[in-house]
Amino acid sequence: MKRLIFNLSLAVILTLFAMALTYSNSKNVWAAGSSIAVVNMQNIISMSNQGKKANAELKALYSTYTARLLTMRKKIAAIQNDLKQNGSIMSASEKAHKTKEFETDISKFRAEEKHVQGAMAEKRYTLLKGIVDKATAIITAIAKKNGYQLVIDRPSVVYRAQGIDITNEVLTQMNSK
């Protein structure tokens, strides 16, 4: 009976030892074979020369569209004010003409507003796609050169060691080209 307990205890101890050895070896193999880096794409987009140029271009386009919409809005407000102040003394045909003009201008304004939103979204997409494509190519080259198996966007990372952030390296390469 004592011998059976001894053999079972020895078997359990050896099994636990083998499991611990296997776990520690597999963990070390995984850690030695993998390398992870993080990059802050938002910083790359906003701080790169291409990103600054794209931002300036978008602001200029936005200003142009805003001025056009403001002119249309002022015209609509003037017609509305004219109808409000002089509507009671206008002839029926003049009032109908002004009302139709008011409604037409509102429809044009709404259509222009939709056009502006679409044009801005398309321009933003086009500009950002070029920046992201260039950054992705640089990140891929850095990852291959340094043996990184995974590069993660930094905002989704809860904790990281200081040395694994490659954002500045990517920015330097983007701004040098």
Report, in this order, helix, strand and coil percent for the chain, each rounded to 5.
Answer: 85, 5, 10
pTM of the model: 0.67
Type of residue at 149? Q
For the chain, the domains span 1-33, 34-176
Looking at residue 48, what is its pLDDT?
Answer: 95
Overall size of the chain counted in residues: 177
**What tokens were used for 14?**
């050896």
CATH 3.90.1150.10 fits 34-176, yes or no: no
d(CA 177, CA 161): 29
Q: What is the pLDDT of residue 158?
A: 81
- The pair of three-digit structure tokens given for residue 142, joined into one six-digit string: 């850095």
Which residues are registered as beta bridge partners of 36? 150
Torsion of CA 7, 11, 17, 18, to 10 degrees: 140
Per-residue pLDDT of the chain (177 residues; tens, 9 = 90+): 555 555 445 444 545 444 544 444 443 333 344 599 999 999 999 999 999 999 999 999 999 999 999 999 999 999 999 999 998 898 999 999 999 999 999 999 999 999 999 999 999 999 999 999 999 999 999 999 999 999 999 888 788 787 888 999 999 999 997
Structure tokens at 93: 């045909």
End-to-end, the C-alpha distance of the chain in Å comes to 79
